[in-house]
Amino acid sequence: MLNFPIFMILADIKKRYSEGIFFRSIRILSLWLLLLCNVSCLASVYYLFQDTVRTSNLDAQLPLQHFNLSSGFGYRLHPVTGEKNSFHRGIDIRAKNEIVSSVLDGVVVKIAYQSIMGNYVVVKHGRYAVYYAHLSKVYCISGQKLFSGYPLGLTGSTGRTTGEHLHLSVKYNGLAINPLYFLLNILSRSGEDLLDYLSR
């Protein structure tokens, strides 16, 4: 939990500055800190700027309004099976009955149920495919074109979980990559630069 003075300073910064570029920089910096430190309190810093960031004119955005990382990409102790050095091919974001949004314009290529991922949606963005899993409800159909921010589902705990959250995974040409790196790349680009990144 942020202590009071820091919280007040950050709130004052948010009040004084409303330029999209400023908050875009804050968002990218916060994600870098999460990626490097994996400290949950850093996500709280991000929350202060979330509403303003989402209203700025950007091509990409985060899948949830709140971004509280509970499990990162890579080897970990499996929370359900207890298996050591289990490789986690995505990230888990804490959530409670939250709308899940498409991070970019894209096309829904798959909607299915699986015993581990539960209800999940796969959206294709160029060479990248983004998986949104453990959904309680799905608000899109296969083949549908989505715009950035489209509400594609609702968080849940379907499949094999220890509680409600969003599992987000990203594949590049079929290979799982760290979703945080992907988010950093799309959030720091726009227009032709973003299209070029997605088509590489």
- For 117-144, the DSSP string reads TEEEEEEEETTEEEEEEEEEEE---TT-
pLDDT at 200: 82
What's the rounded Cα separation, in Å, for the pair 140 and 151? 8
Strand-pairing partners, residue 113, are 119
pLDDT at 3: 40
Task: Please indicate whether residue 119 or residue 55 has the higher confidence score (pLDDT).
Answer: 119
pLDDT band at 163 (very low <50, low <70, confident <90, very high): confident
pLDDT at 59: 75
Domains and their CATH numbers in the chain: 1-57 (no CATH), 60-199 (2.70.70.10)
pLDDT at 34: 57
pLDDT at 170: 96
Average model confidence (pLDDT) across the chain: 77
pLDDT at 70: 81
pLDDT score of 4 more than 80: no
pLDDT score of 134 more than 80: yes
- At 83-108, the pLDDT tens digits run 676 767 889 999 999 999 999 999 99
The CA radius of gyration of the chain, in Å to the nearest whole number, is 17
Residue of 37, 104, 40, 33 lying closest to 67 (CA atoms): 40
pLDDT at 17: 47
pLDDT score of 46 more than 60: no
What's the rounded Cα separation, in Å, for the pair 22 and 53? 9
- At 10-44, the pLDDT tens digits run 444 444 444 455 555 555 665 655 555 544 444 44
pLDDT band at 45 (very low <50, low <70, confident <90, very high): very low
Task: Please indicate whether residue 105 or residue 80 has the higher confidence score (pLDDT).
Answer: 105
Q: How far is CA 43 from CA 28, 38, 48, 97, in A?
A: 12, 9, 9, 19
pLDDT score of 51 more than 60: no
